Chains A and B, each alone.
Chain A
Amino acid sequence: MKPKDVSILLVEDNPDDIELTLKAFTKHNLANVINVARDGEEALNIIFQGGEEDTGENVPDLILLDLKLPKVDGLEVLRQIKGNTKTQLIPVVVLTSSREENDLVESYRLGVNSYIRKPLDFEKFVEVVIQLGLYWLLLNEPPPKGRN
């Protein structure tokens, strides 16, 4: 997959974290389309916009998901993505400041593809986002699209 074909959905309510994440991805030319959802409800609307008629072609290649979100929290968003056959194969990476062991365990139980804690330091934050971007968008073989 070439980076230019890649679309990402970033689900994040913190403006600083949104800016840093976008900076990290654009700097390394990892994706050309990055949609941002600022709460869980908006994320679900974007992910399930096509309803039952959706062919799966418009789904993002990767979802970066914060856990503490307004309206609908991240674990509930994850539960709905992984509980629906149309969306369950989309790689979801939790990117959170949560230090709760329960969030980590519950995320994997729900089927998260990987779970990453945000470093407090800005530069380390950017470095972590770059590593996860390189891994998920260049090294990982994505599930075939337009399936089912």
Chain B
Amino acid sequence: MKKEVTIIIAEDDKGHATLIEKNLKRAGISNNILHFKDGQETLNFLFRHGKGPHRKNNYPYLLLLDIKMPKVDGIEVLRQVKQDNELCKMMVIMLTTTDDPREIDECYKIGCSSYITKPVDYDKFVEAIRQLGLFLLVVEIPKIDGEL
């Protein structure tokens, strides 16, 4: 993954967000990481709505997306992203505690790239994020461009 890729963590649990960021860095990820605490903030950034930060044009982004979040949940965020003509190219990895097969099935049908269940055990959680980081080091991410 190129250094210019920005990783977005959409996660309402601050502890989880910190743990994810810390362990991605431990795996060797040195990319810029942004954190949004609910689905609405994430959509505002991606679709450039509202007053908060907006994504840049012609830059590569990768989204790590929780499902259970306030205001707008992760499945709705995924749906809106995959329906957009430009944002649909973005790699979206679901990172969630839900392991309900129906939920997994739905996310894949909407078009998530990958689905990771957060282990409940702390050490296993850390190891899962490290493994994710090692994988992200070798993957190529496209730029999202065009005016919306």
Contacts and interface: CB of A to CB of B under 8 A. Distances in A.
Contact of A108 (B89, B109, B128): B89
Contacts, number: 70
A132 B113 CA distance: 13
Interface stretch (B37-45, B48-56, B71-79, B129-137): B129-137
What DSSP secondary structure best describes chain B's contact surface? mixed
A91 B105 contact: no
A140 B105 contact: no
Contact of B99 (A101, A109, A128, A141): A141
Given A89-B109, A131-B134, A135-B131, A116 B139 contact: yes
Interface residues of B, number: 27
Interface residues of A, number: 27
Given A111-B111, A113-B114, A144 B131 contact: no
Contact of A141 (B91, B116, B135, B137): B116
Interface in B98-115: 99, 101, 104-105, 108-109, 111, 113-115
Interface of A: 89, 91, 101, 104-105, 108-109, 111-117, 128, 131-132, 134-136, 138-141, 143-144, 147
